[in-house]
Structure 1
């Protein structure tokens, strides 16, 4: 198992995983739209993505997607860990944990002030993982959305 940034030859598999990820949240989008969006974010460095690859067959087993952001409250850079997904055949093998640890390692190297994430309130497996990695539930701020 290897954690790395995706190469061009991984984009097709990565797109399929993003499609599965969106379906997990009951969101359906055309594959071409997903591919264009993801590739644009990666190539423009608007998003940081790491993938987990099976060393034996170069299969992409999971990904983590981070959006760099700034915070006036910390007067520094923060990262939003926006997406984490491991395909079903790779679950229970520590891949999600390895991907998050890669994010935390890179955040430390780059002196990022904090890494934020959110998850669905019923995603107990993810919550357990985040707690095990010392993420703290933020009880000071409420999160609001406004759809445009």
Structure 2
């Protein structure tokens, strides 16, 4: 079990962070690999910390073993800013060792320090391990149903 620390991602993390993000996207969720320019652009946008922020979990030897992304938006119902946590990911060898708790705590602390009205997140309905983790840390299951649509498809497609 490696001791991990969690901190904000920085430019020097890009090569390792990109590898982690690809493992999350392609290997874990089995999505198509994004174009290199798009993934690089996303990472750089998050490093600017205007639309979101990423935290990384790092071992004592400098190896990144996890990351989490917060995106910033607003809630009309709350008339305030909210943070949406996406992409909490820890490499399989480090799961169950505390990195996920530390990454979540970084998000919660960031949202509290910056006066966000709410921290919210979603996970896949078949990701039972993540659901158990979120239940364990005191997450409340929402009464809201999440929908999505491809904006380039026709209505009713």
Give me the TM-score of the superposition, normalised by structure 1: 0.91
Aligned twin of 1:94: 98
CA RMSD of aligned residues (A): 1.5
Q: CA deviation at 1:135?
A: 1.0
Segments of structure 2 that go 5 or more residues without pairing to the other structure are 152-157
Q: Which residue, 33, 41, 44 being the options, matches 1:39?
A: 44
Following TM superposition, where does structure 1 have runs of at least 4 consecutive aligned residues deviating by more than 4 angstroms? none
The CA distance in 2 between the partners of 1:63 and 1:132, in whole Å, is 19
Matched residues in 2 for 1:46 and 1:104: separation?
A: 17
Q: Aligned to 2:62, which of 49, 58, 62?
A: 58
How far does residue 64 in structure 1 lie from its aligned partner after superposition? 0.5
The question of whether the paired residues in 2 share the 8 Å contact of 1:15 and 1:31 is answered with no
Alpha-carbon displacement from aligned partner over 1:40-69 (angstroms, at most 9, x marks no partner): 3323632211001102x1000100001011
Asked whether the equivalents of residues 62 and 95 of structure 1 are also in contact (C-alpha less than 8 Å), the reply is yes
Between the two proteins, the alignment pairs up a number of residues equal to: 146
When the two structures are superposed, what TM-score results if normalisation uses the length of structure 2?
A: 0.86
- 2:54 matches 1:49: yes
Give me the whole-angstrom Cα distance separating, in 2, the residues matched to 1:102 and 1:43.
17
Q: Determine if the alignment matches structure 1 residue 146 to structure 2 residue 149.
A: yes
Q: Distance in 1 between matches of 2:82 and 2:8?
A: 19
Q: Could you tell me how far 1:28 is from its partner in structure 2?
A: 2.4
